[in-house]
Amino acid sequence: MAREIQELAASLQRALESQQNILAQGQAQSSIRREGVLPADSPRFSPYLDNDLLNNSYAIINTSMALLDSPFDEIEDQQTLQLAQDGFIQASHALEAATRNAAPSEDLAFHRLMAGAASHLGGFAARAFSLVDASIQSGRMTPMEATLADLILRNPRQIEERTRQLKTSASFTDVALLQALQGNPADTDALSADPTQPVGGKIENAVSEVGPIVALLSEHYMSAVSSALFAIAHGQGPLLQAAITDLESGEQAASEINAPGPWWVYRLTRRLIGDLRETSIRKNIPITRPPAASADTKADQRDWKLNRTGESGDLLI
């Protein structure tokens, strides 16, 4: 296992070094174009530059997560953990460069969300907030993606309400999903992608937008996330482990049906849930009082006075 970690670290280091040049080009291109159009007198950039940035970024995120998924007792030094964080940050910058001022596309919101998640995992919360908020304002996020965004923004009430809307939606009943699988989806009113509408507003037409298989993945995902948040809030270790196992199962299922969007959401969420657990109040504030808290307070005060005065009662300088 230690050798595997070393190979992952070496691979990530090479990827970061090789991406430096195209990252600089991508940032330069994104700063001067408008809606994907470059000025007439601009430098010539490769037509594949954005695709190269996207492909390299996702490969770097995947390798960085593989490093963090390794057993901590196998990671020999802090530099390996820092390397993974550097990978997240550079991938976030590259994803932002590939989407900033780009031509309008349905995938832009997803890539910005991934950039925000990578920035969050790299330890840059304020930058993550800005990137994720831009994705939310686009109004092009699926329920799974919106839930991941709320995890990054620490908005559990939105997640709870969205899950409730999904669980009670007529579109997600067994009958409706079976009809959708048979090619006869239920008739639902089309709703606009207005980000200011109620949190459950897009639930009703989610099945028709993403398809019944991804809708089932969404239901499984949101149930697992809700269980994980409840477990963290109430210190339920077995329930939290079961929720993480459910996320791993969903990640595997998304991989088997070749659904890259849900696969990335599952994968990143699994890591974010672990971070939430490690930074929660219950994890970092001791439940039992330390020995000093239960000591004889009056005896401590008496000893302190004796040390300050001496036997004659005069203050000691």
Interval 239-260: pLDDT, tens: 999 999 999 999 999 999 999 9
Please state the length of the chain. 317
What is the residue range of 172's domain? 156-317
Q: Would you state the structure tokens that stand for residue 154, as one six-digit string? A: 């620490």
Q: Which of 113, 140, 167 is the last residue before a domain boundary?
A: 140
Q: Which of 107, 140, 173 is the last residue of a domain?
A: 140
What is the tally of structural domains in the chain? 2
* pLDDT greater than 60 at residue 194: no
User: Does residue 177 sit in the same domain as residue 136?
Assistant: no
Q: Band of the pLDDT at 291, cuts 50, 70, 90?
A: low
Question: Does residue 182 or residue 124 have the better pLDDT?
Answer: 124
Grade residue 305 by pLDDT with cuts at 50, 70 and 90.
very low
In this structure, the answer to whether residues 174 and 268 fall within a common structural domain is yes
pLDDT at 314 over 50: no
Looking at residue 248, its pLDDT comes to 96
pTM of the entire predicted model = 0.82
Instruction: Tell me, yes or no, whether 147 lies in a domain.
Output: no
Q: Are 50 and 96 in contact (CB under 8 A)?
A: no
Final residue belonging to a domain, choices 108, 140, 172 = 140
Q: If you average pLDDT over every residue of the chain, what do you get?
A: 84
| 300 phi-psi bin (left φ>0, alpha ψ -120 to 50, beta other) | alpha
How many whole angstroms separate alpha carbon 65 and alpha carbon 275?
A: 13
pLDDT at 138: 86
Based on the domain organization, do 61 and 193 belong to the same domain?
no
| 160 in the same domain as 92 | no
Q: Give the closest residue to 16 by CA, choosing from 50, 51, 63, 49.
A: 63
Residues 67 and 207 in one domain: no
Instruction: Identify whether residues 166 and 312 lie together within a single domain.
Output: yes
Residues 131, 165 within the same domain: no
23-64 pLDDT tens trace? 999 999 999 999 999 999 999 999 999 999 999 999 999 999
pLDDT tens-digit readout, 251-289:
999 999 999 999 999 999 999 998 888 777 667 676 666
Better-predicted residue by pLDDT, 138 or 97: 97
Q: Among candidates 94, 147, 101, 150, which has minimal Cα distance to 122?
A: 94
pLDDT at 197 over 50: no
Residue-level pLDDT at 292: 58
Residues 169 and 100 both lie in one domain: no
Tell me the average pLDDT across 210-230: 92
| pLDDT for the residue 73 | 55
pLDDT of residue 198: 40
CB-CB contact of 247 with 95 (8 Å): no
Q: Does 199 lie in the same domain as 94?
A: no
Q: Dig out the tokens for 48 from the structure.
A: 């594949």
- pLDDT, tens digit, 9 for 90 and up, residues 101-148: 999 998 999 999 999 999 999 999 999 999 999 899 888 899 999 999
Q: What is the pLDDT of residue 316?
A: 38
| Two tokens, residue 242 | 């079961």
